[in-house]
Structures are given as structure tokens and as C-alpha cells.
Amino acid sequence: MPCYAIDGVIPVVSPLAYVHPTAVLIGDVIIEAGVYIGPFASLRADFGRIHIKENANVQDSCVIHGFGQSITLVERYGHIGHSAILHGCIIGEHVLVGMNSVILDEAEIGAYSIVGANSTVKAKAKIPENVLLLGSPARIIRPLEQKERDWKRHGTEQYIQLTQRCLHHFEEVQPLQEDSSERLTYQDFNLDDYSIKKNS
């Protein structure tokens, strides 16, 4: 992976985390066990620390950065959707930040909350636990329902599983020149554990 020190500050990545080879880590980045960092994510900690805690995921093309001496924190089981931007903020445990959303400086998102896709959370906003936010600027719509918490938990569990799949089975290959009946597809797998079906 592209991993860079600045001013002698070197990123830290647990061997039990997965960072895609196209993701970029710079400076004071800490990645804990079970974390998934997706393709083309940029974690640039050249001003303040970026800390991604265990079993969180940061998906494709996310940008994480901060201002001077800040800590940008994604707590345990945080779920950061594709192309989201986090800047000098705190994302609580089990929070989902939807695709293409922006969380600005010194905002804090309380545990178990969901920030809907394409939302913008203003700087210094303090969001309580277990609420749904939508809009730009984002506002609290209502408390989360249990089915929404269950949906979020299931999605995060899939990314925890994806971390393990990538650590053990991810490899760069050359594409096949044509499809064939012998090429594996996900129809051939048990999706509960991604083992190959016995009749395949």
C-alpha cells in the first residue's frame, strides 16, 4: 500500500487489518485490528491524528483529514460509506456515515446514529446517540428504529467478514479473456461464510 511518513511520523497498521493496495496512508494514522480500508481511500494525517478503531470500515474513495492538532476518530464498528469525507471529527461506536456525506471539523456523532447519504454535518455539531440525520445541512429526523440498527449491524458484519476474506484470499491477477462455465462466480458460494458449495 502507499504508506508515507511525514516529519518522521509513520502510520501504524495492525496485521489483523486490511488496507487495499490503492489506499493512501500519510503520517499519524492508526489502524486497529479488524479494520477494512477500501480502494482509493485517503487517510492524510499531516496535521492531526487519524485513528480508526477495531472492526470499523472506511470504504472506497473516502477522504479523512484534520486540522492542526485535531484527532479524527472513527470508533469501534464505525461504518464509513463510499466517498464520504471526514474532517477533524469524531464518529461514535456503531455509527453509519452514508455514501458521499461530509462530516466537518469538531462535529461529534453519537453512538448508533446514522447519517444518511449525501448529508453534510456542520462544524461543531453535537449529535446525540441513536438518531437518523438527513440533509445538507443535516438535521435530526427521528430516533432510529430497531430494524434500522439491525440493518446497520448486518452491513458492518459483512465488512468485518470482508476484512478476513481479503486478508486470506485477495490477490492481484490478470483478467480472463473470456467467460466460461468453469469460472467461479458468487452463485457458487455459501454467502454466510463464502465457502464453496459442495455441489459446485
Per-residue confidence (pLDDT) for residue 35, from 0 to 100: 99
The predicted-structure confidence for 92-113, as pLDDT tens digits, reads as follows 999 999 999 999 999 999 999 9
List 4's β-bridge partners, or say none.
Answer: 26
Evaluate if residue 19 carries a pLDDT over 60.
yes
Evaluate if residue 189 carries a pLDDT over 90.
no
Evaluate if residue 200 carries a pLDDT over 60.
no
Per-residue confidence (pLDDT) for residue 146, from 0 to 100: 96
The predicted-structure confidence for 76-88, as pLDDT tens digits, reads as follows 999 999 999 999 9
Query: What are the domain boundaries of the chain?
Result: 3-143
Amino acid at 91: I
Exposed, middle or buried, 108 (CB in 10 Å: 0-12/13-18/19+)? middle
Per-residue confidence (pLDDT) for residue 69, from 0 to 100: 83
CA dist., res. 198 & res. 109, Å (int)? 45
The predicted-structure confidence for 132-145, as pLDDT tens digits, reads as follows 999 999 999 999 99
Share of the chain above pLDDT 90, in %: 88
Per-residue confidence (pLDDT) for residue 107, from 0 to 100: 98
| CATH classification (class only), 3-143 | mainly beta
The predicted-structure confidence for 24-70, as pLDDT tens digits, reads as follows 999 999 999 999 999 999 999 999 999 999 999 999 999 999 888 88
What's the mean pLDDT when you consider all of the chain?
A: 95
Banded model confidence at residue 187, pLDDT cuts 50, 70, 90: confident
Q: Which residues contact 89 (CB under 8 A, 6 or more apart)?
A: 72, 73, 103, 104, 105, 106, 107, 108, 109, 121
Per-residue confidence (pLDDT) for residue 199, from 0 to 100: 59
pTM of the model: 0.94
The predicted-structure confidence for 146-160, as pLDDT tens digits, reads as follows 999 999 999 999 999
Evaluate if residue 194 carries a pLDDT over 80.
no
CA dist., res. 27 & res. 153, Å (int)? 31
Banded model confidence at residue 91, pLDDT cuts 50, 70, 90: very high
